[in-house]
Amino acid sequence: MSAPRTLVLSLAAVLAASAACRGGDGGGRRAPALPAPAAVDRSPSLAPAASCEALEAAIEDALVLQMRSELEQLRLSWGGWGGVPVGGAPGDAGSPAPSGYTTTNAQVAGVDEADFVQNDGTRIAALADGRLHLLASWPADALAERASVAIEGWPRELFLAGDRVVVFSTLYVPRALEGDAPICGGPGMGAPGVASDAIWCGHDASNVTKVTTLDVTDLAAPRVAAEIYLPGSYLAARRIGARVRLVTTDELPYPEGVAYWPPLAPGASADERDRAFAALEDANEALIRARPLEDWLRRGEVKRADGTSAPIAYACTDFALGAAPVRPGILTVATIDLDRQALASSTSVLARAGVVYASRDTLYAAASHWWWWPMPGQADATYLHAFDLRDPDRAPYLGSGVVDGTLDDPYQLDEHEGALRVASTLATRVAGSDPWGAVERASQLTVLGLADGALRTLGKTAPFGRDETLFATRFLGPRGFAVTARQIDPFFTFDLSDPASPRLVGELELPGFIGYLHPLDATHLLGVGREPGPGGSMQVKVQLLDVTDLAAPVAVATALVGEGWSWSDALWDPHAFTWFPGAAGGGLLAIPFVDYGTSGLVSDLRLFRVDPATGITPAGALSMADVYASASGPGWSFAWSPYVRRSVLADDPITGTFVYAVSDAGVRSARVADLPAWLRTVAFTPLAAP
């Protein structure tokens, strides 16, 4: 039997009178062949599709609108400024196990986040060179690779959960090279191992997400337990116990033959150019509307360890449509049962979402409002779709809401006592020097609550940080914290105890910026950022903030490292931030570090002791400059030393704390007290020759 599947779609507003409005504008240009951009939907809702015909029309209306918008803006840009057309379509022996160890840094306790490295105290699983590397990691001086498994496609992230490793990889279904016949996945066609039938027919080029579950009970002999192929690109994954929630996005590419530039003779007049664009839009629309529904909605496949497989089916009545204007695409939340190595269900929304946040009870996906024709007077907005995670086998749709502004990362969302807090970047388009105007920016914090099938606004702050960019956000119980930056770094504190009246309480100006905030305890935050240094340098900073008094936050300690142009992956990727509060000798922080200075390129792992009472103290560095990755082919070879990207910390009650540095070339272990000396190095298998 095929796995159960529920699909919910949110549609951009229906295209109306697409061939109309082609009169002149008095300046030799044709007015846009588009309806006026739809306003922000302040009450987004969804309803089931009435029929397969209605579903197909909804998808095609949205894609026609997108195509016309893209061509009209290209035409106007080229005609107005003489631009050149651009081609192409739009991750000592010690005890038998450590007494404590770090795992992947996660936003919400109990909600594991996928990463390309995971650790469970005695084993490390890492993705590099297109392979899964399985290492026995304890004791630290016996670090060894037990197995290396080739992963189909482009491996992105993984979970290490008990004796299961779940790997998410992206496969590519290529465009037909000749003729109009669609390409179907099969051996050598971007989805190896998938039967050459209609499962992957339907898109001329698109991505497939593969979920590979391996049994690693015997670390030296991992066994593939199940493989699941789902249409769409990998976006994110969360794990709660034995259930994985995988989020993918499928962009619904145009059919073969849709073009982006009309044939134009040299020196063509404005009228000739406008007529050529109009004809091209009409021809493109005919191609879009000629495609049948079964070609828009691709099916996936489940393959089991016993060799059997089953397609993942859908029905038109499983879909629903809404009126919120968002770019067309299919967002899917799939539930995977690790105990059965099976796809339990999936839920989808027609929207091109980019940010996913999950608490233990609810998953939220954010999709930006689509102004298909930008003009002064517009303000950005984001639609939020909520899915219920309390049922272990399903993620049913709960409701939708909207906030002003846009979101860039999951840390701008937080659920607390039934309320969803959202920090957003406001962007308003005002009159400017070009036809689409200029953009004014600020930030805002909004609180929403789920009631009667909708996410409704309970309260919001006044805009703050005008003309600045939102860099870091963190919520801690009934309090919130945000960092914006332009030339200085304002750190804002918020009282969120009353959801109906969130308010900004304090502000602290700091040099540079903070890219990530991490709570140490109820009254202290640890930040990682950058700050201008001597001689025009840019240093990485680790900063300890005391927020005991929200009205008067204090920077109690700062450590600056680097002599040239320095940065750390922890600035933009929280998974690169490793905090070990239980380390022997006190809290220990490890972050990857890169510096271009007078000493040349430096890439290593930097460690710091952090204590609210004593401040921040450097605790050593672990380099992997001598650990190389390599690639080779007929008559050539190349080797390089990749940057350190991740770290693991583990304690032994007798011998102290140990650290593992991870790069794309391998893993190195060391005793923290002995740094920079190291214990053991495992080099990953070199890249295979093409």
Q: Over the stretch 602-628, which tens digit does the pLDDT of each residue have?
A: 999 999 999 999 999 999 999 999 998
Q: Is residue 481 part of a domain?
A: no
Are 605 and 622 contacting, i.e. CB atoms less than 8 angstroms apart? yes
Alpha carbon distance 635, 632 (integer Å): 8
**Mean pLDDT, the chain, integer:** 85
Query: Look-up: residue for tokens 């689509």?
Result: 370
Percent of the residues in the chain that have a pLDDT greater than 70, as a whole number: 86
Q: Over the stretch 34-85, which tens digit does the pLDDT of each residue have?
A: 788 999 999 998 777 788 898 899 899 999 999 999 888 887 765 543 433 4
Q: Is residue 657 part of a domain?
A: no
User: Which has more confidence, 477 or 204?
Assistant: 477
Residue 658's closest CA among 682, 642, 678? 678
Q: Is residue 397 part of a domain?
A: no
The count of C-alpha atoms lying within 13 angstroms of the C-alpha of 451, restricted to the half-sphere facing its C-beta, is: 7
Percent of the residues in the chain that have a pLDDT greater than 90, as a whole number: 60
Confidence of residue 158 (pLDDT cuts 50, 70, 90): very high
User: Coil, strand, or helix at residue 656?
Assistant: strand
Q: Over the stretch 102-114, which tens digit does the pLDDT of each residue have?
A: 999 999 999 999 9
Asked which of 289-298, 301-310, 398-407, 437-446 is least confident by mean pLDDT, the reply is 301-310
Residue 445 sits at the vertex; the CA angle it makes with 441 and 447, to the nearest 5 degrees, is: 145
Q: Is residue 406 part of a domain?
A: no
pLDDT given at position 10: 43
Amino acid at 280: L
Q: Is residue 625 part of a domain?
A: no
Quote the number of domains for the chain: 1
User: Which has more confidence, 342 or 478?
Assistant: 478
Q: What is the DSSP string of 85-110?
A: P--S-------SS-SEE-----SSTT
pLDDT given at position 638: 82
Q: Is the pLDDT of residue 29 over 80?
A: no
Q: Is the pLDDT of residue 503 over 90?
A: yes
Asked which of 241-245, 266-270, 361-365 is least confident by mean pLDDT, the reply is 266-270
Residue 144's closest CA among 220, 237, 76? 220
Q: Is residue 64 part of a domain?
A: yes
Confidence of residue 174 (pLDDT cuts 50, 70, 90): low
Alpha carbon distance 425, 529 (integer Å): 19
List the beta bridge partners of residue 563.
none
pLDDT given at position 533: 87
End-to-end CA distance of the chain: 39
Taking residue 527's Cβ as centre, other Cβ atoms within 10 Å add up to 25
Are 365 and 400 contacting, i.e. CB atoms less than 8 angstroms apart? no
User: Which has more confidence, 628 or 167?
Assistant: 167
Q: Is the pLDDT of residue 6 over 50?
A: no
- Work out the average pLDDT over 592-609: 92
Cβ-count burial of 125 within 10 angstroms (0-12 exposed, 13-18 middle, 19+ buried)? buried
User: Which has more confidence, 376 or 50?
Assistant: 376
Alpha carbon distance 213, 575 (integer Å): 22
Strand positions, DSSP E, 23-103: 46-48, 100-101
Are 413 and 391 contacting, i.e. CB atoms less than 8 angstroms apart? no
Are 472 and 516 contacting, i.e. CB atoms less than 8 angstroms apart? yes
350: left (phi over 0), alpha (psi -120 to 50) or beta: beta
Walk across the sheet containing 419-430 and list its strands: 355-358, 362-368, 381-388, 397-404, 454-460, 438-451, 419-430, 413-416
Q: Over the stretch 452-498, which tens digit does the pLDDT of each residue have?
A: 889 999 999 999 999 998 999 999 999 999 999 876 679 999 999 99
Q: Over the stretch 523-557, which tens digit does the pLDDT of each residue have?
A: 999 999 999 988 888 999 999 999 999 999 999 99
Q: Which sign, positive or negative, has the C-alpha torsion 561, 565, 571, 577?
A: negative
List the beta bridge partners of residue 439.
429
Q: Over the stretch 428-437, which tens digit does the pLDDT of each residue have?
A: 999 887 777 8
* Torsion of the alpha carbons at 127, 133, 134 and 138, rounded to the nearest 10: -80
Are 193 and 176 contacting, i.e. CB atoms less than 8 angstroms apart? no
Give residues with Cβ within 8 angstroms of 269, minimum separation 6: none
pLDDT given at position 348: 81
Record the tokens describing residue 134, joined without a space.
């399985």
Record the tokens describing residue 469, joined without a space.
């960019």
Are 623 and 612 contacting, i.e. CB atoms less than 8 angstroms apart? no
pLDDT given at position 182: 37
Are 434 and 372 contacting, i.e. CB atoms less than 8 angstroms apart? no
Q: Over the stretch 504-521, which tens digit does the pLDDT of each residue have?
A: 999 999 988 999 999 999
Asked which of 264-268, 337-341, 502-506, 519-523 is least confident by mean pLDDT, the reply is 264-268
Q: Is the pLDDT of residue 11 over 50?
A: no
Residue 49 sits at the vertex; the CA angle it makes with 44 and 54, to the nearest 5 degrees, is: 115
pLDDT given at position 652: 93
Q: Is the pLDDT of residue 12 over 60?
A: no
Q: Is the pLDDT of residue 312 over 90?
A: no
Q: Is residue 261 part of a domain?
A: yes
- Structural domain including 37 reads 1-92+139-353
pLDDT given at position 78: 59
The count of C-alpha atoms lying within 13 angstroms of the C-alpha of 11, restricted to the half-sphere facing its C-beta, is: 25
Q: What are phi and psi of 437, to 5 degrees?
A: 80, -175
Record the tokens describing residue 257, joined without a space.
């033959």
Q: Is residue 371 part of a domain?
A: no
pLDDT given at position 33: 62
Are 148 and 124 contacting, i.e. CB atoms less than 8 angstroms apart? no
Asked which of 83-87, 342-346, 411-415, 472-476 is least confident by mean pLDDT, the reply is 83-87
- Work out the average pLDDT over 574-591: 94
Alpha carbon distance 481, 493 (integer Å): 5
User: Which has more confidence, 480 or 350?
Assistant: 480
Q: What are phi and psi of 254, to 5 degrees?
A: -65, 160
